[in-house]
Structure 1
């Protein structure tokens, strides 16, 4: 785990561990924060959430999802009155009055995660930055690892960047977006790995470095990545400098030109980095690296593209395929057939 996240984890853990062996309702599940708290509670503490409460009852929401309206507290339904409430949205005077009317007491039977994590600085101010590469998220903050690092250390991970804003134009690349621990940790768990000193992972199309931070947080001692767009690369460099992370190898350039550098890595991560034309060349480079230095290699393939061209190299085979909680749900794991 990254030391820079110790403070964040302690804030979350102090509340959750106070609720061990209690029934829990998450209020405000319609946000990323709600989904993050649900995942974190189960992943780190084995706490299963009993009730998901949302004020957003959009018609597009599937009825098969067990999400309740706040009015469930008025119905005396089953044993929800015995549950503690975790707030996944900022506490307002109106909500505080409702909770009190329902019989809940702050820091006893309901807990305000936003106040614990961000204090009163819950809403980021208007960003006057005109540079698309340096723009930051405005409005309500979410509670999650990378957003807290943005708030605490001045990093910039989450704001997406359209391909139209790129200065180094390439027909084969894709827009910048970010995946976090909530998405990546379950993927690595499916690989059944406890990173050792000999394990190193390389991220193709690493963007601002969010996935690289996540790999370090998971326990990889060596993490590398390449980014084609120079200005995004500069943002990533600033992020790692702000966090004091010197264990990463950050490269700027065309992924097709990364060859001998691959010889020190045995894990390769692809999250929508480029099209099949570039992908084919990169996979061949990984194959050549394998032939230069025989070792067990693993490819994490998190992109909406047929993976068969990887198997056609004769080096790799698909060993696992599963879904995760993400817009792009399907993940494939391939490994070298021999080591």
Structure 2
């Protein structure tokens, strides 16, 4: 599922090998390209964007900076589609496509238009999956009033979180509010062998099942039911994940069900909770312990990691 994607990442790194990396375009695709370099512990020297305002902790340059850079030691990565003004500037300074600048989307998507740089966009482009499109509140079927709107989240932020773990083939992850299955695909990318999830909305559930088939993902079990009704089904899993799917009574019941699962089958349990609005409910029974706080690029910023140890 990810082999061709990783091959293209390798080609991107080969193009920049030994040169100053210049990312031009700092919106969603630019963030993702920066993520790829950071994840590989590679340095990005310059970020250029003529439209983005100055962002805290990010040193954004304007394209005029190219006039003082030596093109022979630079690799310019354009994260947008063809732009006449950018091409005129680069070629006027002696840059040549394929030698010292490339369009990153062209490397990954060829001539396909309208794509963003992201893990989910790659799966949609390559396998025709349906992951990123939102689902409005009025169409979303909810089990309880404290269930929240479906949101796909920022894929690379989850990958950054998962890089904190050393998953093994015999680990098993269960996703509460799994939606279309995008997070499960990233857990599989991280090396998790067994995956499961629950989604109450029947349409999202069907899309998730279809995506699993398109991605040829095996050893995955999705359930279309109320998350509060799950009990012994949880006993086969040692990791649980939530991207803020519900609050209040629903959340409390689910946490209690996980704790009962632990009492039936003692094992180390790790709970990955993005958007930890219900932190107090997680720790109220003194079963889960907060073990780690991870600052991310999710809109809710923090992901909390909890553990139950044998």
Length-normalised TM-score, structure 2: 0.94
- State the partner residue of 2:51: 56
Corresponding position: 1:187 with 2:161: yes
Counterpart CA distance in 2 for 1:63 and 1:81 is: 30
Contact 1:159 1:177 in 2 (8 A): no
- Tell me how far apart the structure 1 counterparts of residues 262 and 88 of structure 2 sit (CA, whole Å): 63
Per the alignment, residue 32 of structure 2 pairs with 36
Aligned-pair Cα RMSD in Å: 1.8
Alignment of 1:239-318 (within 5 A): 239-318=211-290
- Would the alpha carbon gap of residues 63 and 185 (structure 1) be closer, same or farther in structure 2, given more than 3 Å must change? closer
* Cα contact 1:179–1:210 (8 A) shared by 2: no
Q: 1:142 is matched with which residue?
A: 116
2:18 corresponds to 1:18:
no
For residues 34-65 of structure 1, what are the alpha-carbon distances to aligned partners after superposition, in whole Å with 9 as ceiling and x for unaligned? 11111112213x2111000012134xx43653
1:300-326 deviation per Cα after TM superposition (whole angstroms, max 9, x unaligned): 111241412211222111111121122
Deviation of 1:225 after TM superposition, in Å, equals: 0.5
Q: Distance in 1 between matches of 2:118 and 2:176?
A: 24
Deviations 1:73-119 (A, max 9, x none): 23x26x68732101111123332221111221111111121212222
Post-superposition shift, 1:282?
0.3
Residue 260 of structure 1 deviates from its aligned partner by: 0.5
- In 2, Cα distance between equivalents of 1:108 and 1:220: 39
Distance 1:261 1:33, change over 3 A: same
CA distance in 2, matches of 1:298, 1:323: 18
Instruction: Structure 2: state its 5+ residue gaps.
Output: none
| Aligned-partner Cα distance in 2 for 1:260–1:270 | 19
What is the aligned partner in structure 2 of residue 92 from structure 1? Answer: 83
Equivalent position to 1:65, from 58, 66, 74 = 58
Alignment match of 1:330 (pick from 292, 302, 310): 302
Find the aligned partners of 1:57 and 1:166 in 2 and give their Cα distance. 34
DSSP-derived class of the 2:2 partner: helix
Candidates 172, 175, 194, aligned match of 1:203: 175
For the residues of structure 1 that align with 2:75 and 2:107, how far apart are their CA atoms? 16
Contact preservation (8 Å) 1:263, 1:289: yes
Distance 1:204 1:120 in 2: 37
Gapped runs of 5+ residues in structure 1? 123-139
Deviation at residue 167 of structure 1 after TM alignment? 3.7
**1:27 equivalenced with 2:10 (yes/no):** no
Count the aligned residue pairs: 310
For residues 134-191 of structure 1, the C-alpha deviation after alignment (integer angstroms, 9 at most, x for no partner) is xxxxxx210122111112221100011122111456312111111354111221233x
The TM-score normalised by the length of structure 1 is: 0.87
Query: 1:8 Cα shift?
Result: 2.0
- Pairing 1:163–2:141 present: no
